[in-house]
Amino acid sequence: MAVLVVTGCKSLSKLTAKDHSNAKTSTASNNTGQQRSFLDQIEVTPGTAVASRHKASTTNAGKTAATGNTANTAAGGSNPPNFTGFDIERAGYLQLKYAVLMDATVEKLSNIPLLETIDRWWGTKYCLGGSSESCIDCSAFTQILMRDVYGSTLPRTSQEQYDNTTRIELEDLQEGDLVFFHTTGRKRDITHVGIYLLNNKFVHAATSGGVMISDLNDKYWQPRYRGAGRVVK
């Protein structure tokens, strides 16, 4: 899976500034406002998500009943597969885990290959120019995820990825779109990139915490946001 690299998120000759953002791993609150304790068993009801203490595993993810293509099938970004009679009780562990991380209902997390890829890279530490599961930088991560999940080819650096995608408005963001930031260097430079998920959340390789999920409204990321791009096939 390793990708041959020659530069980092922006350039190997420049250092990236730490983003100082924090991974959001707090559990989602339920509608009643009461705290729900975690049990060894998983119990869910429509509109809520509860995770267990078991170690993350992709074993059950492939057993979720789904129809349709999870790849990026349209120029407007990825279209989640259509579910017929979705049974929330059969939702895999990954759906439960990332529903909590993204403050989303389980039903919305239908792209299992995307969740499996994120989970495989989750927590991988950041290093400028890295492109392996030992360490990786932001643009290598987006390059690999877009290739493996959506079948899209991206150039290597965050600036090149910005230059080779179609600009879209913030309110039009869809799963699989790229989000770009300026974190250091000249004001107009694009120095960081992530992949949009849903609910204002994006996954990226951050200097502060490695591969993680952050929020576009985070006090660090919001003022550094420089735009979004869509890969058009």
Is 83 within a domain? no
Q: Which of 20, 54, 127, 138 is catalytic?
A: 138
Residue 229 phi, psi dihedral angles, 5° rounding: -135, 150
| 176 within domain boundaries | yes
Domain that holds residue 133: 122-230
In a domain, 22, yes or no: no
- Residue 215 Ramachandran class (φ > 0 left, ψ -120 to 50 alpha, else beta): beta
Q: Give residue 53's pLDDT band: very low, low, confident or very high (50, 70, 90).
A: very low
The DSSP line for the chain is -----SS-SS-TTSPPPP-------PPPP-TT-------SS----TT-----SSPP-STTGGGS---S--S--BTTB--PPP-SS--GGG--HHHHHHHHHTT--GGG---HHHHHHHHHHTTPPB-TT-BSSS-B-HHHHHHHHHHHHH-----SSHHHHHHTSEEE-GGG--TT-EEEE--SSSTT---EEEEE-STTEEEEEETTTEEEEEETTSTTTGGGEEEEEE---
Cα distances (angstroms) measured from residue 117 to each of 57, 151, 155: 12, 13, 19
For residue range 122-156, what is the model confidence (pLDDT) as tens digits? 999 999 999 999 999 999 999 999 999 999 999 99
**31 inside domain:** no
If you search the block for the tokens 């049974």, which residue do you land on? 87
Q: Is residue 3 one of the residues assigned to a domain?
A: no
Q: The domain that contains 170 carries what CATH number? A: 3.90.1720.10
Residue 204 known to be catalytic: yes
The residues pairing with 166 across neighbouring beta strands, listed in sequence order, are 230
Q: What is the pLDDT of residues 187-227, one digit of tens each?
A: 789 999 999 999 999 999 999 999 999 999 999 999 999 99
The domain tally of the chain equals 1
- The answer as to whether 38 is a domain residue is no
Active site residue 192: yes
Look at residue 161 and tell me if it is in a domain.
Answer: yes
pLDDT at position 220, please? 97
In a domain, 165, yes or no: yes
> Is residue 20 annotated as part of the catalytic site, yes or no?
no
